[in-house]
Structure 1
């Protein structure tokens, strides 16, 4: 044992100072109140304080820090979407992840290993060609690869030659990767806290006081707070939170489940998704194989895992990599996804003058954490929605200018 480590262990100042200060008393007024202490809310607080000089900010979280969908996702990061608006948005998100550890002075364990989405039919291959062409045009590293190249990218795959699920090719997205979800949240929280942002855990918003088309106060179980501006970023509870302000969002919520295996030596060096099997796999830095798939087929506010989804995910994983059949599962969990009709988020203005929305993230919220935080901070600070966010306005459902990203989910992640 190094002497310095032994000395640190017996130091009177041990443990070191906390990255996140204890929850303070609520003030009577804040310039900005952010509802939701997950990745998006914390990222917005960081960018507001660092780049816009706004530090009179309260982040309200009814549970514990980043304990909702931020802690329950499978950490996939990518920009291989379908619409030009979606690709441009998530491309900026990937670029922010690439330099996030330096931005936050916190190792978020970003691993840009690429994503391989498998095609089992000619129709899927044709759709991949359209996605690759649009992605290349907008500057992402996305291309269609043939059967031989798929085998090179993931040599242990079951190609099922001649079978009903033969792998004919794939969509290779070299920009794809993963990051450590709790590190991302804690990195943003630590930076925001150091600049004076207050993070209030165990603080539930129960109502809004509204007059003159504005939110005057946010009512919590610890008291009411007068505020200048408010942002809602509560993940799977966005619909319920907005409804308290009299706003009904075009959102329906579904559980989304995933599971992990026991740790294995490194062998899966890319993210692998199968559209036909609705299954995807990625190996974590600890060696666990993370397995996920599509959302549950029913509306429900629940984070309970189910046997039928476990069987479905296990069957897909074993088909793709048959040697996994005797590997033990460690745990299974679920999150709540807030889905919009066009599988794209809602960002920007609400019907209330000082209430901003960061909602409708479905299964793609984690990958958008830095770009949503950055651009929503810009929106709140300036009072104007930047061009990159305008297509995601809630108004698009009234004008029928939808952004259909349903085919880009690649097994709902």
Structure 2
């Protein structure tokens, strides 16, 4: 989650109204990663950060990358504030750059300097992911600069030509580059992929509540490992281009319904997180063939599922463990699948996740008698594995608009992310 510059966690001058987002607000939003958009970490509120929080930061100036000056390095106060460099999760170089040979070499120089100093930090650049022209040179960038993450931003819920087609184009394309990887032989050295997703209104267009959900859950369907939300907490002077949706005031007061929706999304996604980071995405399909960027689903894609019935758009994707040790030596080739309710009417601000919910009915073959899932409720069972019986060969699952859930066929195999060894 990023609160950009003086629009967020940074303390501002008295003339600017002392705008800030407090750690209490952050805790209620249930985020687990803070990005300051190039600002020093020790400019955040308080003398030191709360425990169990990871951080990301940027260095946007090409000259700083070339010379290792400016905010290229974390200073000693930042390292103290975040509790050590082990809490620096990602470090981004530049932003939305065309990948000329000079830029690629600048990024390579930065990554080569960063990797020994921050050995447990994922270093990466960032491009606009929604149009093919922005990927010119991306394959060369991967092989030459060797980032730890393939990374983009995609803000298509806007009033200047944004479309769902562009959103899904971005998701599939950056996924493909992550799979191709950084090796001289394609697919020999794949890397994880991530993105900035949108949680703001842009260019005169209000982002709707189900669209916020779709922006957060649809990357999961494609196997994205790092998700950062682009959020404003400051409205003045940017209303015509960007506008906050989480707060009604120019700070962290006046929380809107969007705040609660994002907090719930964060809560659910984090419950699935330990499993998702250990899975490899093997395919994404559109059940009702409603989006030209997603191939149509057929029963051969996940043979255990012989039919899927839904009124509106549904996306299904397949996952397998990244390594067989993640669920023990007694089981192999376990299949997980993610269901996404894509019923998100474009730009319809009357819609909510609840009133765009739909029930999806799966017909099972192969003797499947039950599914398993991580309990995403807010009750006592949250985060545990729940069993969902298959009755008469079918099972029905209801998902809010824009939200999704991870499932596994009940085979006796332990869940990846929950397995502690035999």
Q: What's the TM-score once normalised by structure 1's chain length?
A: 0.25
* Higher normalized helix content (fraction of residues): 1
Higher relative contact order (CA 8 A, sep 6+): 1
Q: What's the TM-score once normalised by structure 2's chain length?
A: 0.25
